[in-house]
Amino acid sequence: MRTYLVTGGAGFIGSNYIHYMFRKYGDAIRIINVDALTYAGNLENLREVEDRDNYTFVRADITDKEAIQKIFEEYDIDRVVHFAAESHVDRSIRTPEVFIKTNVLGTAVMLNCAKDAWELPDGSYREGKKFLHVSTDEVYGSLEEDGGYFYETTPYDPHSPYSASKASSDFLVKAYIDTYHFPANITNCSNNYGPYQFPEKLIPLIINNALHGKKLPVYGDGKNVRDWLYVDDHAKGIDMVQEMGRLGETYNIGGHNEKQNIEIIHIILETLLEMLPQDDARRAHISKDLITYVEDRKGHDRRYAIAPDKIKAEIGWEPETMFKDGIKKTIAWFFEHEDWMENVTSGEYQKYYDEMYKEK
């Protein structure tokens, strides 16, 4: 049975990846999920899998070398999928040192612990061991509005403390590949959306605020462009890179769904009205009049767009979910999980760990 160590598995992308892997492989794999359960880590995301015999949750910080070493000693880890990171740009502007600690030091700890566990006396590595570092397109900086794309060869040009910390972690992984021939890959993805996304991010924030008649904040003129990737498509891409990617290579995973932020908001409002029953009182709350332009974010990149040509050519992955289909799936999920959103926005989700694990 292949054993995966997933860091940050209680977060948005990590939890979706765990669900995807169990849907695909069932009992043929084991997953060890390590998460510090900071504000965005939510074990309620994994209720459906927590009782599986082949799933284990460990509460630990990736900067805690002793805790991570213990996991490698206790389990024969075959694959590391490293999601754990501080990821919100606004928070990085307020508290950059937190991002440096988690994203840079945490990645160094993960690399060292995996290397120590997998390396043989001759400097080679035990067969079948792989480390996948999940990163972002934000490390490449900003594109002009009128064209161009991020490729794996695009020079790094990060502009926020968040993207700078992720760029630093990418370079650490690259250094281990070059210096130690460490068996690793890097993936750089575009903006994800879908189930379980913490409502400080644009799409769940707009969905939740619109349903409650709250203001819909938009930075600057609202014309900043992002490439949107449905989270299940991302999970599939990560798995395919693990299985078929050339060791040492970087693969960009993009959604081919470029949209301005203001366009995203209009699509969400239209889709909510399309999906809500005619007698649902919340329809009265939903209005473009809620859109409120606010002072632009410091260092706000204008446009991101990934060219996933390499991953398609070498591995055969391409995005399957167009944005209008993905946003309908996302809204439908939020309709079916209103208790999840209520718990997250009220802070009640943070009690879940104690309730579930204090006796274990």
Active site residues: 137-138, 162
CA distance 274 to 11: 29
Instruction: Kindly report the backbone phi and psi dihedral angles of residue 192, in degrees, each rounded to the nearest multiple of 5, phi listed first.
Output: -90, 155
The upper half-sphere exposure of residue 161, i.e. CA atoms within 13 Å in the direction of its Cβ, equals: 18
